[in-house]
Homo-oligomer: A and B are copies of this chain.
C-alpha cells in the first residue's frame, strides 16, 4: 500500500505561512539592524548587551495577538496547551505543515524568539510536554509557553567528545529523595537570556545500568545553589544575544528527585524524541535563512557594478547563483520529505531521513551564505548585513545536535542494512 506523499500544505498552514512571512517582512526585518546596532553600541559603551531590546516584548505581544504563537506545538501532543497558549486553539501542526511556517521564521535570526518558537525552548517545551509530570508542567511549561521565561539545554561538555553521548562525564546521582548534580556543560544555548530560569540537564546517574539507561534528564532552576553560568561563548565570533551560549558549572546542586524528567535513566529515550523534530526544525529554518541569503546575493549582484557590468554579469557569478537556487530547492524538498516521513512513520521510521537532512542542509546553507558574503565584498563579512551571523549559525549547526559525520553514520547504517557486512561493523 503506497502512503500518500502529498507535500501540499493544509489551508491553515498556507495561511500561517503567509502571515508569518508578512510579519517577518514588515515587523521584524525592518528593526533587525537596530537590534544588532543596539547590542554593538551597548557593548561599546560598556553596558549590558544581554537585556533584550524592549521592542522584542512588543513584537512578541503583537505576534501572539495575531495567533502566530507556539506554532511549533506538535500535533497529537499539544493537549490542553494549544488552546491555552496556542494560535487559535486549533491542534498543533504536522511537521509537514510546520515546515513552510518555520522556513519563514528562519529568514530572521530574531523571528523565532518573537513567535515563541526558538531553539532550545521549543525542544525543551516538547520534552516537558511529552515526558514531564503535571507538577513539572505547571512550574515550567506554562510560563515557557506563555513566553514569560526562557530555558537552556545542558548537554554538551567541554572535556569529552560529546558527539558520542555515552562519553558524558557530568553526574546526576540519586541520594535518598534528592538528585545531586555535578558537572560542567557548555554550548548551553539560551543561558545568556536574563529570563532563562530553567535548564534541562543531562547527566550520568547509574553506570551499572544498561548502556542506554544510565543517564537522566533533570529540570534545574538556573538560580539553584551551585549552578553558575561561568561565561558566555562566542560561535565564530557571535554571542547570539539575547539567548547566548553558556558554559555552566554545576557543583553539588541538590534538587528533589522529582526534578528528574520521566524518572532516572530515561535521558536517552527522551533525547531521541527531542532531537528528531528539533533537527528537522533547524533544517526548516535553514532553508529560510538560505533563501534570504540568496535574495541578498541577487540584489547585490544585480545592483553593484564593477568593470562596467553588474556583478551578475561577471565571471561565474550567474552560474553560482543558479547552483544556489538548485541547492536550496533540492534541500527544501528533502526537508519536506523528512517532515512527511516523520508525520507518517514516526521518529523511528524516519531516522535515516532526519539524519540525511541534518547532514546535508547546514552545509548547503553555509555554501549559499558564503556565496552571498563573497558577492557583498568586505561588507558581507561585517556587521551591516546579516550574513556573518547567518554563516555562524549555519556553520554551528554542522556540529550542534550531532556533527555531520555522526549523521552520515546513521544514514550509512540504514543504507547498508540489506547488505552482508552493513550492520555488523559500524565504523563509528
A39 to B317, CA, bound (A): 39
- Chain A interface extent, by class: 35 or more
Q: Does A403 contact B (CB under 8 A)?
A: yes
A163 to B305, CA, bound (A): 10
Q: Which of A2-10, A108-116, A258-266 contacts B (4 or more CB under 8 A)?
A: A2-10
Within the complex, what minimum Cβ distance (angstroms) separates A363 from chain B? 10
A374 to B9, CA, bound (A): 36
Q: Which of A21-29, A269-277, A419-427 contacts B (4 or more CB under 8 A)?
A: A419-427
Contact assessment for B4 and A377 in the assembled complex, using a CB-CB cutoff below 8 Å: no
Contact assessment for B237 and A415 in the assembled complex, using a CB-CB cutoff below 8 Å: no
A409 and B333 in contact (CB under 8 A), knowing A236-B236, A303-B421? no
* Beyond A303-B421, A323-B408, 10 extra complex contacts between A and B, CB < 8 Å: A6-B8, A156-B377, A186-B382, A301-B416, A302-B419, A314-B427, A315-B319, A315-B405, A316-B405, A322-B408
Residue of B nearest to A383 (CB): B234
Q: Does A60 contact B (CB under 8 A)?
A: no
A233 to B378, CA, bound (A): 10
A380 to B404, CA, bound (A): 14
What 0/1 readout, one digit per residue, does chain A (326-342) give for beta carbons within 8 Å of chain B? 10011101101100000
User: Which among B3, B236, B323 is the interface contact of A237 at CB below 8 angstroms?
Assistant: B236
A7 to B2, CA, bound (A): 11
Contact assessment for A383 and B233 in the assembled complex, using a CB-CB cutoff below 8 Å: yes
A41 to B211, CA, bound (A): 41
Contact assessment for A381 and B359 in the assembled complex, using a CB-CB cutoff below 8 Å: no
A238 to B317, CA, bound (A): 27
